[in-house]
C-alpha cells in the first residue's frame, strides 16, 4: 500500500497553534528519529483521516512530502478526539536504510471452502487477528496469509507453520504462537455430550452406599447383629 502525504513545515507549537491549524483543515504532526532533529509539520486533515481509516496505518512505510523534500517514515502513533473520533495529532518515525521495526501485521485466511472441517460445519476460531513481527522496514508484509486447505476439526494452526518474510521474527513470549483452531460445530458437541451421559448415569459400583431413602440390604443368614441393635425375637 503506497501512501504519500503532502505536508508543510510549521513553526508554531502549542495548543493555540494546533487549534488554529485544525480550523484551517490541517493536523499538527512531527517527524523524528534517525538521529536527526524533530521536524514539526502539518498535514491535510482529509488525507490523514483517509489513510488512518484505510487500515494498517501503523504498519506501513509511507512518504511524507514536506515542501518538496520527501521523508520516508512509518506512523508510530496518532491521537483521536474521544468524542468526535477525529484525528488531532500524528507522530512519524524516520526510516533509515537498515531500520528494523516492530509492527502489527494482519492475519488473512484463504481457501476455507477447501477445509474438510469447515465443510462438516466446523468453526474457524481465530485466536490472533494480528501478529507482532520484528521485521526490516523494506520487508513489512501487507498481511500474513494462512491456507486452510486440508484443515480438519481439531486442527491447531501455529505460527511455526506460517511462512514469514525474510528476516522477520515473531515478537512473542509463547514458544509457538497459536493463530487459530478448527472447532467442532455445536451440534457435534451436543451429540458427544449425549453419548457421554449414559455412562455417567450408570448404576453405582458394587459395595456403594444405598441411595438416600432406599431400603437397606438384608443381613446375610447367620450374620451377627450390628452393634447396639436389638436381638431378633425367638421363634
pLDDT digits (tens, 9 = 90+) for 14-35: 788 888 999 999 999 999 998 8
The grid coordinates listed for 199 are 455412562
Question: Is the confidence at residue 156, as pLDDT, over 80?
Answer: yes
Least confident of 41-45, 56-60, 119-123, 199-203: 199-203
Average pLDDT over residues 30-56: 91
Higher per-residue pLDDT: 66 or 200: 66
CATH architecture of 4-95: Beta Barrel (2.40)
The CATH superfamily holding the domain 101-188 is Ribosomal protein L25, C-terminal domain (2.170.120.20)
Question: Is the confidence at residue 52, as pLDDT, over 70?
Answer: yes
Q: How far apart are CA 4 and CA 62, in angstroms?
A: 6
For the beta carbon of residue 109, count every other beta carbon within 10 angstroms. Answer: 17
pLDDT in tens, 68-81: 999 999 999 999 99
pLDDT confidence of residue 121: 94
So where are the chain's domains? 4-95, 101-188
Question: Is the confidence at residue 200, as pLDDT, over 60?
Answer: no
Calculate what percentage of the chain has a pLDDT beyond 70. Answer: 79
Higher per-residue pLDDT: 43 or 15: 43
Average pLDDT over residues 103-117: 95
Q: How far apart are CA 15 and CA 21, in angstroms?
A: 10
CA 52 from chain centre, in angstroms, equals 20
What stretch of H or E contains 45?
Answer: helix 45-53
Q: Give the full edge-to-edge strand order of the sheet including 100-110.
A: 144-147, 100-110, 130-136, 169-170
Kindly indicate the confidence band of residue 167, based on its pLDDT and cuts at 50, 70 and 90.
confident
* pTM for this model (two decimals): 0.67
pLDDT confidence of residue 116: 96
Amino acid at each position: 500500500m503506497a501512501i504519500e502525504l503532502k505536508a508543510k513545515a510549521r513553526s508554531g507549537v502549542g495548543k493555540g497553534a494546533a487549534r488554529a491549524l485544525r480550523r484551517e483543515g490541517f493536523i499538527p504532526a512531527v517527524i523524528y528519529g534517525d538521529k536527526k532533529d524533530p521536524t514539526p509539520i502539518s498535514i491535510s486533515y482529509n488525507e490523514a483521516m483517509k489513510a488512518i481509516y484505510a487500515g494498517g496505518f501503523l504498519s506501513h512505510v509511507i512518504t511524507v512530502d514536506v515542501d518538496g523534500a520527501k521523508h520516508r517514515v512509518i506512523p508510530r502513533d496518532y491521537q483521536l478526539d474521544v468524542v468526535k473520533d477525529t484525528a488531532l495529532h500524528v507522530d512519524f518515525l524516520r526510516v533509515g536504510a537498515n531500520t528494523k521495526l516492530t509492527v502489527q501485521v494482519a492475519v488473512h485466511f484463504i481457501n476455507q471452502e477447501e477445509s474438510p472441517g469447515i465443510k462438516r460445519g466446523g468453526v474457524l476460531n481465530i485466536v490472533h487477528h494480528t501478529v507482532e513481527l520484528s521485521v526490516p522496514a523494506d520487508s513489512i508484509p501487507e498481511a500474513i496469509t494462512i491456507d486452510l486447505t486440508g484443515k480438519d476439526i481439531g486442527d491447531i494452526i501455529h505460527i511455526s507453520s506460517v511462512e514469514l518474510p525474510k528476516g522477520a521474527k515473531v515478537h512473542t513470549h509463547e514458544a509457538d504462537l497459536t493463530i487459530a483452531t478448527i472447532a467442532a460445530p455445536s451440534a457435534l458437541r451436543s451429540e458427544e455430550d449425549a453419548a457421554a451421559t449414559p455412562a455417567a448415569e450408570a448404576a453405582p459400583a458394587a459395595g456403594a452406599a444405598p441411595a438416600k431413602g432406599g431400603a437397606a440390604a438384608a443381613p446375610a443368614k447367620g450374620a451377627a447383629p450390628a452393634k447396639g441393635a436389638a436381638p431378633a425375637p425367638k421363634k
